[in-house]
Amino acid sequence: MKKKISIHDIARHCNVSSTTVSFVLNNKAGENKIRKEVADKILDYVKEVNYTPNHVAKSLRTGKTRIIGMLVEGISDPFFAAIAKGIEHRAYKLGYKIFFASTDNDTNKAKDLIKVFRERQVDAYIIAPPPGIEDDIRSLIEDETPVILFDRYYPSVNTNNIIVNNYDGSYQAIRYLQQNKYVNIGFVTLESSQSQMEDRMKGYLDAIKGNNQTSYVLKVPYSLTDPDILNHIKDFLNKNSVLDAVLFGTNYLASNGLEAINALQIKVPEDIAVISFDDSPIFRLISPTITAVAQPIENIAEAVIKRLMTCLYDPIANSKTETIVLETEFIIRNSSAKKTKKRLVV
């Protein structure tokens, strides 16, 4: 890499000090009484040689990188991809750049990535935390670096959290199925004690018990890859042929579930109704279209950025914490059509 032009090179060429160049480049020419002709001379030369400031040096001096580190479970998951896009877009307009990284919900990978972010001196963190990084989060907070958790949080750690009403989301979905005469409703979730999954489970169980129905739960072990998830779900459906509806706890469980259902030649919604917690663009594309408990992506992105900016610019606000709970939206599509008499005779 060729040596790049620095502020000193510009200063030398224009017969001024580097301070003057810095003032001009940072729009402080006015308040520092730099004459217009001097400013213009500098600006002209800057344009001529296509100078771009060295942000590394700038960051070292100012202690600010204007970079925000963002940890998600997987950037290819449509939910996280959409959140990331919404956040990046807003951050960009405010002059911040987002560093993305996927944890794959792996504790050690997440710890590692936080270390990388720390080394790069990111100004703040946006994290969908995997299990087991409580201490790392605490340590960031001790440094007084703004941290926002989203999608899930640790009840044991005092943080800023932007979450959705997971309990209500699954409760509503089950109530809807019950009102449409479904009686044997299953729930496919993850073997996980993360807050969002526990809340979805509670919503399911309360709705089932409230209606005196039997619960059928499959907890898929964490860190399975796709074909294994599919097989677990196949087994579950085979062993519980009485099921006439299933709620899937995440969109990728739903995707795998649909593939399992296809493979077993079961018809949706004739033989079994399907609802996904978490919407996905493909759910309105496929036939039948899939009913979903949608998370309010744009609202989440907005809330995250708003709280983050407050924390960045107001140390007092940053020393406090806030938990914002947003409501889900229940989107009824074809996969959960009202159960007819005919279909009751399974």
Site of interaction with a copy of itself (CB under 8 A):
1-2, 4, 50, 52-57, 59-60, 63, 65, 75-76, 78, 81-82, 84-85, 88, 97, 99-100, 102, 115-116, 118-121, 123, 139, 142-145, 255, 258-259, 262, 282, 285-287
Least separation in angstroms between residue 275's CB and a copy of itself is 17
Specify whether the CB–CB gap between 160 and 311 falls below 8 A: yes
- For residue 145, the partner it binds in DNA, a copy of itself, none, with Cβ less than 5 to 8 A by kind, is a copy of itself
Which lies closer to DNA via its Cβ, residue 5 or residue 337? Answer: 5
The SS3 call for residue 124 is: strand
Least separation in angstroms between residue 13's CB and a copy of itself is 19
Specify whether the CB–CB gap between 188 and 246 falls below 8 A: yes
Residue 286 to residues 75, 206, 258, 334: CA-CA distances in angstroms?
22, 31, 11, 10
Q: With binding defined as CB under 7 A, does residue 267 bind DNA?
A: no
Q: How far apart are the C-alpha atoms of 254 and 270, rounded to whole Å?
A: 17
> Exposed, middle or buried, 266 (CB in 10 Å: 0-12/13-18/19+)?
middle
Which lies closer to DNA via its Cβ, residue 32 or residue 76? Answer: 32
- For residue 16, the partner it binds in DNA, a copy of itself, none, with Cβ less than 5 to 8 A by kind, is DNA
Residue whose entry in the numeric block shows the structure tokens 């889900």? 328
Comparing C-alpha atoms, which of 222, 288, 285, 224 is closest to residue 261? 288
Residue type (1 letter), 225: T
Interface pattern 39-78 for DNA (x via CB under 7 A): --------------xx--xx-xxxx---------------
- Binding residue (CB under 7 A) for DNA from 25, 217, 324, 326: 25
Which lies closer to DNA via its Cβ, residue 63 or residue 155? Answer: 63
The SS3 call for residue 121 is: coil
Which lies closer to a copy of itself via its Cβ, residue 185 or residue 246? Answer: 246
- Would you give the distance in Å from CA 58 to the centre of its chain? 30
Strands 291-294 and 329-331: antiparallel
Least separation in angstroms between residue 208's CB and a copy of itself is 29
Least separation in angstroms between residue 258's CB and a copy of itself is 7
